[in-house]
Amino acid sequence: MGKPENIKVNNAFDLSVTAKNIISISCLEDIQQLRQLDSGPRLVLGSATNVILDEYFDGTVIHVLMHKITQGDNGVVSVGAGLPWHELINYCLTQDLYGIENLTLIPGLVGAAPVQNIGAYGVEVSSVIHSVTCYNFATQEIETLSNVACMFAYRDSVFKSKNYMILSVQFHFQKVFQPDLSYPSLVQFLADHHLAHDEVSPRVLSQSIQAIRESKLPWPEDIPNVGSIFKNPIIETDSIPADFLEGHRWLVADGQTKLSAARLIELVLTGIEIPPTLDFYKKHSLVLINRGGAVFSEVTELLRAIQQQVHLLHGIQLLVEPEIIES
Ligand SMILES: Cc1cc2nc3c(=O)[nH]c(=O)nc-3n(C[C@H](O)[C@H](O)[C@H](O)COP(=O)(O)OP(=O)(O)OC[C@H]3O[C@@H](n4cnc5c(N)ncnc54)[C@H](O)[C@@H]3O)c2cc1C
């Protein structure tokens, strides 16, 4: 039997992708469909802004559509996995719920936010997550995992195991606005706009983050991309010369240094041929863009070439940030 070409999988990098089967979970009763699935491959997807998909997925793509917001008596706010993240930001701004302003304009759905513990401008979503309700594919039961059980770390959580389908996320937002304004580019933005820290309201903070992001990041619907294409490598400080990547490195805890992956890419690009369908965004060299018609193999070959060149010239291992899902 040939591959069904008509089940299209939308994705932020705008690659041409189809799947054998796609199902939507609109209510808890729909989970019954999962129990009837064969044991073939399955992939839970939100807006596909953090994945690079191969041309054909020989299994079932699952979309969780529930998107209700419910405020409990205990102050915990439960949010359906299918709600776009920016809608939650707007909701919080109107309801005097604080803590995620720094995460303004991160694309994607609420259900994906715990998976890689989304973070930006000094804040990680795990700081306001109370618990996560999900379907466990192994036990076929619905479970609620506490914040601790989610095992959050930098861009990581228990959900990376792919054993869970997140149905809703429970948040304990702050009731008193205690913003984190310490991130260097935010400090700079506030200074440039003559905004004293005590003048920064939640809305002003959210708008500031939006302005900073819009000045350097393309929105996937305008220019197909999946955000940062490589992670910033963190290495032992004494494993590199003191002047290596000066101005593009930051000390982190325990004698470790974070290096700018964007700078490492810039250093090797002259020796690499970029196919005409792909390019790096002019305002941010860590963002790979699809100029139109790019195919999966071109993307993976380019990323491999950059990794090899960075390793060859600088001895540093670059890791791809979005998940690459091969056929
Ligand atoms: C321009 C741009 C800027 C970005 N900036 C940031 C940033 O500042 N910080 C940051 O952390 N990320 C950033 N990202 C990455 C991305 O926005 C986030 O990872 C986002 O949470 C992905 O949401 P999504 O709905 O598109 O998830 P998808 O890409 O669809 O899925 C991502 C992963 O989560 C899994 N998943 C999705 N939904 C569920 C679910 N309901 N249950 C279980 N697993 C699920 C998928 O299987 C996959 O492994 C950026 C991306 C872009 C394009």
Q: What is the pTM of this model?
A: 0.94
- pLDDT reading at 227 higher than 50: yes
CB 128 within 8 A of CB 171: yes
**Interval between CA 107 and ligand 1 midpoint (Å):** 7
Q: State yes or no: is 321 an active-site residue.
A: yes
The residue whose C-alpha atom lies closest to atom 11 belonging to ligand 1 is 118
Radius of gyration of the chain (CA): 21
Read off the pLDDT of each residue in 300-323 and give the average, rounded to a whole number.
96
Read off the pLDDT of each residue in 51-60 and give the average, rounded to a whole number.
96
CB 125 within 8 A of CB 119: yes
Ligand 1 is surrounded, with C-beta below 6 A, by: 12, 43-51, 64, 81, 106-109, 111-113, 115-116, 118-120, 159, 164-166, 217, 220, 225-227, 323
Q: Which residues of 211-244 are buried (b: 16+ CB within 10 A; e: fewer)?
A: ebbeeebbebeeebbbbbbbebbebeeeebeeee
**Substitution site in 10, 49, 79, 284 for ligand 1 pocket (most atoms within 8 Å of beta carbon):** 49
Chain centroid offset of residue 93 CA: 22
pLDDT bracket for residue 1 (50, 70, 90): very low
The residue whose C-alpha atom lies closest to atom 17 belonging to ligand 1 is 107
**Interval between CA 244 and ligand 1 midpoint (Å):** 32
**Interval between CA 43 and ligand 1 midpoint (Å):** 13
Tell me the pLDDT tens digit for each residue of 105-127: 999 999 999 999 999 999 999 99
142 forms beta bridges with: 135
Please tell me the predicted confidence (pLDDT) of residue 5. 52
By C-alpha distance, which of 185, 103, 174, 117 is closest to 151? 117
The percent of residues above 70 in pLDDT, for the chain, comes to 98
Phi/psi region, residue 56 (left: phi>0; alpha: psi -120 to 50; beta: rest), is: beta
**Interval between CA 307 and ligand 1 midpoint (Å):** 23
Residue 6 is classified by DSSP as: -
Q: How many other β-carbons are positioned within 10 Å of the β-carbon of residue 307?
A: 18
The residue whose C-alpha atom lies closest to atom 28 belonging to ligand 1 is 48
Rounded Cα–Cα distance for residues 67 and 171 (Å): 14
Q: State yes or no: is 182 an active-site residue.
A: no
Q: State yes or no: is 246 an active-site residue.
A: no
**Interval between CA 112 and ligand 1 midpoint (Å):** 5
- pLDDT reading at 76 higher than 60: yes
By C-alpha distance, which of 316, 293, 296 is closest to 306? 316
The residue whose C-alpha atom lies closest to atom 14 belonging to ligand 1 is 227
Tell me the pLDDT tens digit for each residue of 175-191: 999 999 999 899 999 99
Query: Domains of the chain, with CATH numbers?
Result: 184-216 (no CATH), 225-325 (3.90.78.10)
Rounded Cα–Cα distance for residues 102 and 175 (Å): 16
Active-site residue, from 155, 213, 285, 298: 155
The residue whose C-alpha atom lies closest to atom 33 belonging to ligand 1 is 112
Read off the pLDDT of each residue in 203-218 and give the average, rounded to a whole number.
97
The residue whose C-alpha atom lies closest to atom 3 belonging to ligand 1 is 227
Rounded Cα–Cα distance for residues 92 and 202 (Å): 9
- Strands 287-290 and 278-280: what pairing? antiparallel
